[in-house]
């Protein structure tokens, strides 16, 4: 295989792997925001917790951070989900009653506190230098196969997450979630435990964000506090979900693929520019992503794949009120 073909192939595989990891994050956010209507602006925090937990448990012993227990990869992923979910439970217990933008402020605050801890507790996390040499499954295979095998692992995880989220969304549980999102008072009036259901949605979403973080740590074989910058996690995942279509898991995955492809392809283009311009072009990319979000928000607020309420049989009889449409800004 010629070098060029191999290079292109590796680029494509890495792009798909990242899109897959972002799909997990976007599905997690979809459960929190799309299903339940919880504005979590602290995705980076749960992402970081998952990444560090899996890194610490699966790495070999080291003097620069705690752990190094040589756990197998799946156990690391599972532990990442459990710990991120547990922190989600604690945060949720305290904050879940807050109204939307207060919840956003509180979750950002929690995420920033988590980031400060990761940066400052050098004995546990190796501080700003981060943890390197995190094992990646199948890394001993030869060039394209190792990357392809990891892509398959990620694809498998995405598939499981998608099927479970989809199943949950169509189940009675999912319908309760949507009813709480669209009319909290009515859901409470028919006897649903609103706080309990919202908490469940928050914890499941947080666990998936931890899973995404763990996969990222294994993919790059490195995790440092910079990787948990709000820009690359919290913000990008929000853009993906909004553009893809909040409330729709396939939309979340499509959004992840489209936005990540744009993000990474434009990076490939701008890296060809002279260094000074390349740095500046990065900011132009961020600006365009922000502008894209505004355009989608104002013109196509339902996203590429709009939410389809489950149980379409009743929709034929009763004129359906699409919640996304109802919330959409009036066309001017």
**Interface residue list for other proteins (CB under 8 A):** 39, 41, 94-95, 98-102, 104-106, 108-110, 112-113, 116, 119-120, 231, 235, 238-239, 242, 279-280, 283-284, 286-287, 289-291, 293-294, 297-298, 301, 327-330, 332
Token pair for 70 = 């040589």
Token pair for 66 = 């705690």
> Residue 9 or residue 278: which is nearer to other proteins going by CB?
278
Token pair for 199 = 């908490």
Q: How far is the CB of 21 from other proteins (least distance, A)?
A: 21
**Nearest CA to 254 among 204, 313, 296, 312?**
296
The answer to whether residues 227 and 216 touch, using CB atoms and an 8 Å cutoff, is yes
Backbone angles phi, psi at 50, to 5 degrees: -60, -45
> Residue 43 or residue 204: which is nearer to other proteins going by CB?
43
DSSP string, 14-64: HHHHHHHHHHHHHHHHIIIIIIT------HHHHHHHHHHHHHHHHSPP-SS
Residue 51 CA to residue 324 CA, distance in Å, equals: 33
Q: How far is the CB of 113 from other proteins (least distance, A)?
A: 5
Contacts of 180 (CB under 8 A, 6+ apart): 36, 37, 187, 192, 194, 197, 198
Q: Which residues pair with 132 in a beta bridge?
A: 222
Backbone angles phi, psi at 243, to 5 degrees: -70, -40
Q: Which residues pair with 223 in a beta bridge?
A: 131
> Residue 76 or residue 224: which is nearer to other proteins going by CB?
224
The answer to whether residues 174 and 307 touch, using CB atoms and an 8 Å cutoff, is no
Residue 172 CA to residue 175 CA, distance in Å, equals: 5
Backbone angles phi, psi at 162, to 5 degrees: -65, -50
> Residue 172 or residue 290: which is nearer to other proteins going by CB?
290
Provide the angle, in degrees to the nearest 10, between the axes of the packed helices 143-170 and 194-220. 170
Counted residue by residue, the chain has a size of 332
Residue 168 CA to residue 162 CA, distance in Å, equals: 10
- Give the other-Cβ count within 10 Å of 260's Cβ: 22
Q: How far is the CB of 324 from other proteins (least distance, A)?
A: 11
């Amino acid at each position: 295989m010629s070098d060029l073909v191999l290079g292109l192939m590796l680029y494509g595989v890495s792009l798909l792997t990242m899109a897959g990891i972002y799909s997990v994050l976007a599905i997690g956010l979809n459960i929190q925001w799309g299903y339940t209507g919880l504005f979590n602006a602290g995705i980076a925090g749960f992402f970081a917790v998952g990444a560090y937990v899996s890194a610490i448990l699966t790495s070999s012993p080291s003097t620069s951070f705690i752990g190094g227990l040589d756990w197998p990869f799946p156990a690391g992923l599972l532990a990442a989900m459990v710990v991120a979910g547990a922190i989600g439970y604690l945060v949720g217990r305290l904050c879940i009653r807050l109204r939307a933008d207060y919840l956003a402020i509180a979750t950002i605050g929690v995420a920033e506190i988590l980031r400060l801890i990761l940066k400052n507790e050098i004995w546990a996390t190796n501080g700003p230098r981060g943890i390197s040499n995190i094992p990646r499954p199948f890394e001993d295979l030869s060039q394209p196969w190792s990357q392809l095998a990891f892509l398959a692992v990620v694809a498998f995880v995405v598939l499981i997450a998608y099927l479970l989220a989809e199943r949950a969304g169509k189940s009675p549980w999912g319908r309760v979630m949507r009813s709480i999102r669209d009319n909290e008072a009515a859901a409470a009036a028919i006897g649903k435990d609103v706080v309990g259901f919202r908490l469940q949605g928050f914890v499941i979403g947080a666990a998936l964000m931890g899973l995404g973080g763990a996969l990222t740590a294994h993919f790059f074989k490195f995790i440092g506090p910079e990787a948990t910058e709000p820009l690359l996690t919290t913000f990008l995942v929000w853009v993906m979900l909004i553009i893809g279509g909040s409330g729709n898991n396939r939309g979340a995955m499509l959004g992840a693929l489209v936005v990540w492809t744009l993000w990474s392809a434009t990076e490939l283009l701008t890296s060809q520019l002279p260094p000074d311009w390349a740095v500046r072009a990065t900011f132009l990319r961020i600006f365009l992503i922000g502008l894209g979000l505004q355009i989608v928000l104002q013109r196509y607020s339902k996203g590429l794949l709009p939410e389809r309420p489950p149980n379409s049989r009743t929709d034929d009889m009763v004129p359906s009120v699409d919640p996304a449409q109802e919330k959409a800004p009036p066309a001017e």
